[in-house]
Structure 1
Amino acid sequence: MEYLFVGIGGIFGAVSRYGISKWVGGRWRGDFPLATFCINITGSFMLGLLSVLFTKGGASPAWLKPIATTGFMGAYTTYSTFAFEIINLIQDGENGIAVRYLLGSVILGLLAAWLGLTLGEYV
């Protein structure tokens, strides 16, 4: 049954990622992969926050954690696209953008996860 819950969350996470990518992509014309960047940073924050909220326990049903964390957040964030975009930027000679994207994603992703964990302690 847990696999079903993960799958349900995954459907919503993948559709959310696709929708945000289309929305941001329709508004951003720069070479920087802003859509994936925003998705991964917000995903890092949300996974940090959710992990604390689920760890604290409380009234959440047991099936909600695999839906929200492994399912939704796992499908919402995308390391493979992140890696692919960096390779493409390098192949296109956009080394400066590739480095900023790589470092910005890692540093801000870690900061966002920490902020989510910290906020979760106060909720």
Structure 2
Amino acid sequence: MDIDPDIDLREAPDPPPPVDAALLGAISLGGGLGALARYGVGLLLPTPPDRFPWGTFAINVVGCFLIGVLMVLVTDVWSAHRLARPFLGVGILGGFTTFSTYAVEVHRLLHPGTVGVAFAYLAGTVVGALAAVTAGVRLTRAVVGR
């Protein structure tokens, strides 16, 4: 009995693509550096229980702004090395920004007495991140004349 008549189970699946060690290395190194920077900001701006997490908020908004700047630079301005965007964008800025921590912090704030803070943080981060990436793109394009 055929599971799907469009699939020939007698054919071997396509082999996985080869691993690009340089790409994985660039992303890993950048991610480690970004995570260290995030940790440093977390130490400078600790979040007391039941309070607005300003440290994580700042990390995500600043990171999104820098992603907007980076995308303009690597797509419109530089003929960047093939590992520049993975190292800087996926690695450093991906390791720096922390939307998983954001989700955990929203969840921790969802109890009587702090629901308003949770929703302010939930909405404020989304609005702030989108505004920051837009500002980063527009500001960079204005500065470089594009």
Q: How does the TM-score come out when normalised to structure 1?
A: 0.91
Bigger CA radius of gyration? 2
Distance 1:119 1:61 in 2: 23
Please identify, of 58-67 and 16-25, the stretch whose mean Cα deviation from structure 2 is larger.
58-67
The reply on whether 1:77 has 2:119 as its aligned counterpart is no
Alignment counterpart, residue 22 of structure 1, candidates 29, 43, 52: 43
Cα offsets for 1:15-59 (capped at 9, x unmatched) = 00000011111xx65711111000000011000110111001425
Map 1:50-89 → 2, pairs under 5 A: 50-89=70-109
The reply on whether 1:7 has 2:28 as its aligned counterpart is yes
Distance 1:81 1:63 in 2: 27
Could you tell me which runs of 5 or more consecutive residues in structure 1 were left unpaired when the two chains were aligned: none
Distance 1:92 1:6 in 2: 41
> Which SS does the other structure have where 2:66 is aligned?
helix
> Which SS does the other structure have where 2:109 is aligned?
helix
| Residue aligning to 2:18 | none
> Which SS does the other structure have where 1:56 is aligned?
helix
- Report the AA paired with residue 32 of structure 2: I
> Which SS does the other structure have where 2:52 is aligned?
coil
Higher relative contact order (CA 8 A, sep 6+): 1
| Residue aligning to 2:55 | 35
The runs of 4+ residues in structure 1 deviating greater than 6 Å are none
**Which is richer in helix?**
1
Alignment counterpart, residue 119 of structure 2, candidates 88, 99, 107: 99
State the aligned residue count.
121
